[in-house]
Chain A
């Protein structure tokens, strides 16, 4: 803690740590100093002059956003001179600002409107014709309207500092100044929309939301992004049962205001025209629409028949369904169908990590560690592409705390630009390469190790041994792919482990084993697409698929049940760091049902009493004592990341128009 200094603002005594900016010191005693260019966490710009205040002994007004509080300083924020300066600054900003407010996306949540309302002149003395420049489209998602721009540089800074992309710059001078994209007339960037979100006015607007509605007409639903495993909160703007925007400007959730292109824009799959809204049943070789009751009755009857004659089931779960659904599904499989053949697509070896840690819960990192730990080692992941929030937090940590980053990857990654040491390693040689950093790592006070799917099985044990041998506190993050990849493992969607990684009495087949078993009688696939790249050996098996779309797997099914997506249900999901977060329902799609509801209906029809999902109990127990699965458990099944980029999201990504449309975006791993 740095030493405290005492100063006086508007007659109020204020005590803040030395180095605190006056603008922030004022906040601590409830005094607002208006600002445009100042933004928490970004470098100081001093561009807008909105924050001018009077400081005793200073001959001129001073920008409170660049002035560090000092002992004995006397600041005044309400003097006639300050009030006049604010009026003048706003009048100046408004000289060429169009009177767009009634149609501007930002109307109602615009900082220029708000500050003009509070501090403005009330009357315009400006009679000349305003300079007008036509609006430009920079990419599939980003639009720029220069006349609305107040040149605060927030977008330029968030893109450079926050994202590490540097796609934006200010060009020209005086009345012609405007923001320009890196490719002259278009953007080549992450398409994250952070610049749009941070813009205090409506100068930057996004394809999905522009001219759709007024901010106050929407319902705002905070829920968890359904794409990668990082677990960002996205606040969905819902109008007429339609999601029309995603942002997290209110900084709820562990991501603060960060969202990547997926959390912000890739919600358009919800209303995709190919969305399944009616159950399908195979009749004479063709899938035809049937009623829910007919479809459920058929599944219950066929499952019941196969169970009573001792047939062989296979159950494949999802990395996007909730913990409650996953818990229920494994219980359904194990108790209701009497099978241990249950698995899902595993993308990171969490099981080996837990088994190597031998119950040391404090060696598992939390998302907050990404921003707080003094050093991080990234092994085998292109974070900016695969784990955008993780990349953003590590970068913020480096910017704000000068943390040390080490990368071991098979190709260039964005972290290279600021990592202390970087090693290129061919696939399979990552662990050995990481070990070559021993000397540097040992000198760190503490370390965070993030590893991708290239470190699995025995290599995870070796990695943990290496971490232990460094003699410093080490925490781990096993990188997995999707929103509830972690939860699927926690809830026992694995052949050998029950919820909470407890050993199963009778381990069953893994995913590949099920697909290869020629004698399988029934395959039940929930929210997964295993037949995309693989064949089902049991040609006669009765296949039931619950999904949003007619995927390759669903197309092979005998019964397809239309499922609700994560934005259409409640429940919990668990992110890459094991943090359990709650979904909220934003919209509903007529005809589709949440998977849990489908499970329950089937259970009822089959006369099964499976009880209520016990996810809370499972997590409480895991917190009380971190489970230690047997080392051999991880060997059951395959661990392989799907290798999604910023612009893909498994099968779901194919139905996100926005991800397919951002042609300007780089994408691709290790480029």
Chain B
């Protein structure tokens, strides 16, 4: 399996960041970075990372299946993660989630046919002070109203 030179460089740096013999600690960041590039944690990626870290694929699979942010299926170009945990729920997170689903015509963990958007209902994003919070890819948006969400989605769509 081949990766972009940037990703390879990142891996190289990562592998040097841990004490000798503990290189397998690079597992989670490696998977995350690779997921960003490939779109999902594919079986080939599992094999490849296992080979590089001298782990068994089963051990890698064990970690992949544990972390919800490691995904086996590709998400949209803009992955909208809407928090419905307690603080956000009290401030309209659930309505926001339903609104997003209606607007995009997809359900939880689904992708729009054009591959641009996907939605995921998530647990606390650690942004309770600014609830309801959402995260689009790695960007946070605070105190999001349905209208603000509409504007965000429209502006993203315009980029394409």
Contacts and interface: CB of A to CB of B under 8 A. Distances in A.
Interface string B75-92: 000000000000000000
Interface string B49-83: 00000001111011001100000000000000000
B49 to A, nearest CB: 14
Contacts of A171: 61-62, 65-66
B66 A169 contact: no
B58 A182 contact: yes
Contacts of B59: 166, 169
A173 interface: yes
A181 interface: yes
B65 A167 contact: no
A472 to B, nearest CB: 28
A181 B66 CA distance: 16
Contacts of A182: 56-58
A169 B66 CA distance: 11
Contact of A168 (B57, B58, B65, B66): B58
A529 B61 CA distance: 47
A572 B31 CA distance: 56
Contact of A166 (B56, B65, B66): B56
Nearest to B66: A173
Contacts of B61: 169, 171, 180
Interface residues of B, number: 8
A172 B58 CA distance: 12
A170 interface: yes
A169 B65 CA distance: 11
B24 to A, nearest CB: 12
Nearest to B67: A173
B51 to A, nearest CB: 14
A172 B65 contact: yes
Interface residues of A, number: 11
A173 B61 CA distance: 12
Most central of A169, A170, A172, A180 by chain B CB within 10 Å = A169
A25 B144 CA distance: 57
Contacts of A173: 65-66
Nearest to A182: B58
A166 B58 CA distance: 8
B66 A172 contact: yes
A596 to B, nearest CB: 48
Nearest to B68: A173
Nearest to B56: A166
Nearest to A176: B65
B66 A180 contact: no
Interface string A172-203: 11000000111000000000000000000000
A167 B58 contact: yes
Contacts of B62: 169-171, 180
A167 B56 CA distance: 8
Contacts of A168: 58
A237 B160 CA distance: 71
A173 B57 CA distance: 18
Nearest to B55: A166
Nearest to A183: B58
Nearest to B54: A417
A181 B65 contact: no
A172 B65 CA distance: 5
B45 to A, nearest CB: 15
B148 to A, nearest CB: 33
A182 B56 CA distance: 8
A492 B61 CA distance: 55
B107 to A, nearest CB: 20
A437 B95 CA distance: 72
A168 B59 CA distance: 8
Contacts of A181: 58
B15 to A, nearest CB: 19
Most central of B57, B58, B62 by chain A CB within 10 Å = B58
Interface string B84-114: 0000000000000000000000000000000
Contacts of B56: 166-167, 169, 182
A444 to B, nearest CB: 22
Interface in A133-190: 166-173, 180-182
B47 to A, nearest CB: 12
A169 B50 CA distance: 13
A169 B56 CA distance: 9
Contacts of B66: 171-173
Interface string B24-49: 00000000000000000000000000
Contacts of A170: 62
Contacts of B58: 166-169, 180-182
A556 B61 CA distance: 55
A181 B56 CA distance: 11
A338 B16 CA distance: 74
A180 to B, nearest CB: 6
Nearest to B62: A169
B28 to A, nearest CB: 14
B41 to A, nearest CB: 13
A167 B66 CA distance: 18
B71 to A, nearest CB: 14
Interface in B136-151: none
B66 to A, nearest CB: 5
B61 to A, nearest CB: 6
Interface in A535-574: none
Contacts of B57: 182
A421 B62 CA distance: 31
A182 to B, nearest CB: 4
Q: Which 3 A-B pairs have the closest CB atoms?
A: A169-B62, A169-B58, A171-B65
8 contacts: A166-B58, A168-B58, A169-B58, A171-B66, A173-B65, A173-B66, A180-B58, A182-B56
Given A171-B62, A180-B58, 12 more contacts: A166-B58, A167-B56, A167-B58, A169-B58, A169-B59, A169-B61, A171-B65, A172-B65, A172-B66, A173-B66, A180-B61, A181-B58
Interface of A: 166-173, 180-182
Interface of B: 56-59, 61-62, 65-66
